[in-house]
Amino acid sequence: MVDTRKVYVLGIGATPIGEHWDESLRTLMTKAATSAIEDASIERKDVDAIFVGNMSSGPLQGQEHLGSLLATWLGIPGVAACKVEAACASGGAAFHQGFLGVASGVYDCVLVVGVEKMTDAITRDITAALIMADDQDYVAFTGVSFVGLNALVYKAYMDKYAVEQEDIALFAVHDHKQAVNNELAQYRRPVTLSAVMSSPLIADPIHLLECAPIGDGSASVVLCSEEFLKKYGGRDVLIEVSASIVATDKLSLYDRDDITTLSASVKASRKAYKIAKIEPKDVDVLEVHDAFTILGVIHLEDLGFARKGEGWRLLKDGELEIDGKIPTNTMGGLKARGHPVGATGVYQVFDVVKQLRGEAGKNQVDSPEVGVTQSVGGVGGTVVVNVFRRVR
């Protein structure tokens, strides 16, 4: 492996997630970017490059070329800028590109923005946009939805490991409990397991309250090099990006040997752990991509926190709570914080950095030092795993 420079998180910013009828795609990402720049205590002109994570601005807004659009609205035309797309992992992939830009020495200060605008599109168009995450010629043409694909995973998991659905559906209850104290969350209210299990079926066995909602939002991160820190100063609490890894799997479920595990999660996490010189037991706070409750459970296993078929036990035993063995989705996760798909990977970074800084309010984990985020595109076709460490 080639030598790389250290990369630090200098600033973060985000908008609330919800139905932003009076906000456009450009205003959402401009607000988040401006907030991160201000949090970093730098000037816009200090930014060397911009990476924008987004999945569906083309089909839903008829707008592409988001890198140049954001540079224009920030008033820094001339800066290197581009859009990064990897389905629901677009935000995570944009973060990875920003990390590489600084680690390689090409840039000293990078702005990463994730953004998605979904609520002003009709459901049919959103469904069509989401299934673009899978193969159009061999999967999408059948009429299957993204929820339907995850339903296949759900049924296969319950059958293979003899797990009760109620033990998996608890993930939604957990997330809503955490979101109550998150001022940026889309759904700041608790739900009961009975409410989850009695909510309408969307694709058997997935109930409505087991699905991440449709929403609008934007989150942003400023990354910088050690040289930049020395020149411009830094924060009292400093967060290093210890590793950022992307891995892929065969795109479609029909082509995989086992649909109850995401091999890309296994590959990306193990490589990230090795580079960061940690093990799962060293992680103090975790963000998993729980677009559906079943994914939250599977991710716990694939990331190395539980044996296969037993991720639900961590949930049921309270080990994912703020004071548990592995505090997970401490600000509500995709289910309750919200899931503006192209922005979600950056919101995860935002939440972990807040925890490592000690700024998570009532949801603060006790003195965390290491955090991990996992961002997933499609049904595991792309996975991004990032490791963060508080270094002072």
Which residues are designated catalytic? 88, 339
CA-based max dimension of the chain = 57
Sequence-ordered list of residues with C-beta below 8 angstroms from that of 182, at least 6 positions apart, any chain: 188, 331, 332, 336, 337, 363
> Which helix (DSSP H) or strand (DSSP E) does residue 370 occupy?
strand 370-377
Residue 146's identity, in one-letter code, is F
Query: From CA 16, how far away is CA 31, in angstroms rounded?
Result: 11
Tell me the β-bridge partners of 221.
12, 112
End-to-end CA distance of the chain, in Å?
27
Query: From CA 30, how far away is CA 246, in angstroms rounded?
Result: 27
Q: Which of 87, 41, 69 is nearest to 251 (CA)?
A: 87
What is the gyration radius of the CA atoms in the chain, in angstroms? 19
Query: From CA 271, how far away is CA 385, in angstroms rounded?
Result: 9
Tell me the β-bridge partners of 217.
116
Query: From CA 69, how far away is CA 32, in angstroms rounded?
Result: 14
Whole-number Cα distances in Å, 324 to 158, 298, 327: 25, 19, 6
Give the number of other CB atoms < 10 A from CB of residue 122: 9
- With beta carbons less than 8 A apart as the criterion, state whether 295 and 146 touch: no
